[in-house]
A and B are shown apart, each in its own frame.
Chain A
């Protein structure tokens, strides 16, 4: 009898949809965020040590997910939002960012990129500080350009840090809830019904604590598996600096 909840899970189309939606969210969120954060970190590393600039970049991380969600809900509102005004100005048809089945998940993923990219960038920036400057100086003497230095020095030496940062951000990303809850609340249809939202709805909307817990366990096992795979793939435990 103890396994009933897990058997139900295997045959629950809503669960599989939630899993798929969550994975889609994580891929967009982590993909864009990692590239953006790396760009910011490298730009700061090569341009300036300004604490003010680092402070500005970190600012979105200090407001609640709820705040970020509501502000972007307004900016990207279909009728009144400045986002669609800009699109109109560029000659593009207005988009129902949060209301369209195909757009809702990428939109939420990008809202969370806005909130987290500065924080992630500062983590990578701290990693960049561990790369000895002499390497860049030597490369410059040899006539290497910025892009060459990025590919041959920064990227390989930052690999373990990028790996660890991605492990942390992916774990956080899979547990997305706040932003979805306050913007789309799972709609349209089940298009943004991410796992945490489904768990919450099961536990507090339908009082099925047992089944909700079963999904929590499934999510945790999934996270553990993803973490192990990521750790192996990025060889996050080993450095090439030695």
Chain B
């Protein structure tokens, strides 16, 4: 699913992209807008329902199942999810009573996602530079091999990766969770190489003539120029790392290396005797989704505009 963002291309005049003008609201357009409104409603409703349930009280949920507003408003769900409620209160409100070390999982998620994003950007940029600007024997063959990696589905690498991480003694560590995606992904290399190819050679040659080495040119000249594609790739890598579930589930067994996605599924399976603690579960789910929603709200334009197709072939 990753081979689908493109490096930013020079902005074309916005005029040229305008749809054909049709000022009159024809019945067809009214129907089209209504369909669009329905799609937006379907897209956003689960987010609202998550928040609405998180602010409800469990005991009031059966009676108020159809109420659009929180049933018997309470912060209890959020308090339970954050581990701020006493065990008695939690049990009384239909929680599991077991404490959830939320802040630790949050810190773990932040650590893993930051490590993966930082390292992947650096190493992929270095590889992309070597593939686009340095001349060495066998370069194109090696690049073809790296690109071939794009075709290998993740399912094929999960078990071998697990055996490797186990042999390295990194099972149940945060480093073990980050390791498979930390160094590079074929897509990141490909994506950045496409951008480096567009940087004029003259810029680089001028710096080399002034006596700068290749390493210095890379860090001082090429990397700063690639700020925009690096940011786009960084956001997408961060979101992917944050949302990953299968691999962390395989590698992590205890609280010390548990990330938010895995913690959520554990929280979901701790059913108290009174039935699922929906208010607490929705609160935890909402908090787990919040950082990505916030990140997106800040940077939506960049992400939305980067999804395109010209880079795929």
Total interface residues on B, CB under 8 Å, equals 69
Taken together as a complex, chains A and B put the C-alpha atoms of A164 and B163 apart, in Å, by 33
B305's partner among A40, A51, A75, A161 (CB-CB below 8 A) is A51
Q: Is B35 an interface residue (CB 8 A)?
A: yes
Distance in angstroms from A67 CB to nearest chain B CB is: 5
Question: How many inter-chain residue pairs (CB < 8 Å) link A and B?
Answer: 204
Q: Which of A3-11, A12-20, A95-103, A121-129 contacts B (4 or more CB under 8 A)?
A: A121-129
* The 3 A-B residue pairs with the shortest CB-CB distance in the complex, in nearest-first order: A64-B243, A126-B308, A55-B300
Partner of B309, one of A68, A123, A220: A123
The answer to whether the Cβ of B282 comes within 8 Å of any Cβ in the partner chain is yes
Interface of B is mostly: helix
Chain A residues at the B interface, C-beta cutoff of 8 Å:
39-40, 43-49, 51-60, 62-68, 70-75, 77, 79-82, 85, 89, 114, 118-119, 122-123, 126-127, 129-130, 133, 136-137, 140, 145-146, 161, 164, 168-169, 171-172, 174-175, 177-178, 181-182, 196, 199-200, 203-204, 209, 212-213, 216-217, 219-220, 223
List chain B residues, Cβ under 8 A from A47.
19, 29, 32-33, 36
Q: Interface on B for A, CB 8 Å cutoff?
A: 1, 3-4, 6, 17-20, 28-29, 32-33, 35-36, 39-40, 42-44, 46-47, 49-50, 53, 61-62, 65-66, 152-156, 158-160, 162-163, 239, 242-246, 249-250, 261, 264-265, 268, 278, 281-282, 285, 288-289, 292-293, 295-296, 300-301, 303-305, 307-309, 312
Check B282–A43 contact: CB distance below 8 A.
no
Contact A85 B308 (CB under 8 A): no
In the complex, what distance in Å separates the CA atom of A59 from the CA atom of B299? Answer: 12
Give the residues in chain A near B285, CB-CB below 8 Å: 67, 70-71
Provide a sorted-by-A list of 21 A–B residue pairs whose CB atoms are within 8 angstroms.
A39-B35, A43-B32, A45-B19, A49-B17, A49-B19, A58-B300, A59-B47, A62-B295, A64-B289, A71-B46, A79-B62, A80-B278, A81-B65, A85-B66, A126-B309, A161-B309, A171-B1, A182-B265, A216-B158, A219-B153, A220-B153
